[in-house]
Structures are given as C-alpha cells and as structure tokens.
Amino acid sequence: MAIRKCTLSALVWLLSVSPWVQASPSDIANQGLGENIAPCSSCHGAHGEGNAAAGFPRLAGLGAPYLEAQLDAFASGARENAVMQPIASALSTDQRSAMATYYSQLSAEGAQASKGQSDNPPDTGAELAEHGRWANDIPACVQCHGPAGVGVGEHFPALAGQPAAYLEGQLRAWRNGKRPGGPMGLMASIAAKLDESDIKPVAQYFAAQSPAPAKGLDHE
C-alpha cells in the first residue's frame, strides 16, 4: 500500500506540475501560466514593446543577463514591485532565465510602438544625458547606455523609448532603496547624486528617443 500511495502521489505531483514545466517561454509570454502568471504580453505588449501610456517598459532586445537579474530581484523582493513580485516568484529559476532569453531575442525594431511620448524633452534632460554633471561625479548617461540610450552590451540596458514614467520610477526606486543598485552598485550611486529636479527631464529625454538604433554610425 505504501508503494501505491507513493506512486499515486508522484503521479498527482507530476500531472500537476507538468503544465508549468512544459510551457515554452513564448506560451508564458502570450498566454500566461496557471493562476499566478498573467501573460507578459498583457502589459509588455505582444512584441515586448512595452506600453508607454501605462508606463510598462519595453523588454524586447534588452540583455538576457540584465532581464534575468531583474526577474530574480522581483522574486526575492529586492526589487519592489507589487505586480511583478508574485509573477516572478511563481516562475522557476530556469523559467526566469528562459523568459529573459526569450525577450532578449525579440528585436527592438519591432518595438517601435512604444515611441512617441514627449517629443520635446526639456534641454536640462539632454544636458545631463549627453554630458553628465562631472562636478558631482555624474557621468553622461550615454557613456554607459550608448548614444541616445540605445544600450550597450548585456548589462547596460537600452533607455531609448522607454516610458518616461517608468524611467522616472526607477531612478526614484534607486534613491529609495527599492531596487538593487545593479552591477557594482553603479546606478544606486548615480541616482543618489541626482537632484530631484533632474529626474523628470532626463526620463523625458530618453523617452523621446527612438528605440531602434540606427546602425552604421561608426566607420568600422
């Protein structure tokens, strides 16, 4: 009997978890999973383009390690977010990794829909974004995030075309300790040096940039 009980419970367990383990990242993105995981696309768009009006960020084309670190931080609560926390913690470690890869492979070009907010960003935002404020040891944002915030490598996500409200929220989250400081604590340290009056203009500057990088600026 003991064997039978074991077998049955194993069976029940396997059947109950199988829908989770078999769902592909694309399924999870578009259909969600079980009761706790809404489709990512419902907020982040069918192509991971985000939703400017609602302030949901673009995911398409961001670095996989960056996205995975964010999902892990949501799951652990290190990055505070009431919507993402339950979703990320319902995903397994492997699923978080798979979702990060999935979105990193969607093209930013397909994410054009998120552009179009704040077409006239204030000059003060451009000044900080393009030149920084070295008197306070603040490098230009574009030094790490690329020209117009198109992104650099896997650890410096694109800012171009991200919703202004989202970018603003992140800078505040770093200042308030509600988001981990990122690699080497770089963003926490920079956000701490910003003035409150810097935040909106610089967020608006990047929101107004096109998310699809124009290739071939370089001679090489």
Interface residues with another protein (CB under 8 A) are 4, 7-8, 10-11, 14-15, 17-18, 21-25, 61, 63-65, 68, 94-95, 97-98, 100-102, 104-105, 108, 127, 131-132, 134-135, 137-139, 143-144, 146-148, 150-156, 158, 183-186, 189-190, 213-220
Min dist. Cβ of residue 105 to another protein (A): 7
Min dist. Cβ of residue 195 to another protein (A): 16
Min dist. Cβ of residue 81 to another protein (A): 23
Instruction: Compare residues 120 and 219 and give the one whose CB is closer to another protein.
Output: 219
Q: Are 63 and 151 spatial neighbours (Cβ–Cβ below 8 Å)?
A: yes
Beta bridge partners of 52: none
Q: Are 114 and 49 spatial neighbours (Cβ–Cβ below 8 Å)?
A: yes
Min dist. Cβ of residue 29 to another protein (A): 12
Instruction: Compare residues 104 and 204 and give the one whose CB is closer to another protein.
Output: 104
* Phi (first) and psi of residue 154, to 5 degrees: -95, -15
Min dist. Cβ of residue 193 to another protein (A): 8
Instruction: Annotate 175-216 with three-state secondary structure.
Output: HCCCCCCCHHHHHHHHHHHCCHHHHHHHHHHHHCCCCCCCCC
Residue 155 DSSP symbol:
T
Instruction: Compare residues 86 and 147 and give the one whose CB is closer to another protein.
Output: 147
Instruction: Compare residues 61 and 169 and give the one whose CB is closer to another protein.
Output: 61
Residues ≥6 apart with Cβ < 8 Å to 20: 33, 34, 92, 95
How many Cα atoms within 13 Å fall on the side-chain side of residue 143?
A: 12
Beta bridge partners of 51: 56
Instruction: Compare residues 80 and 154 and give the one whose CB is closer to another protein.
Output: 154
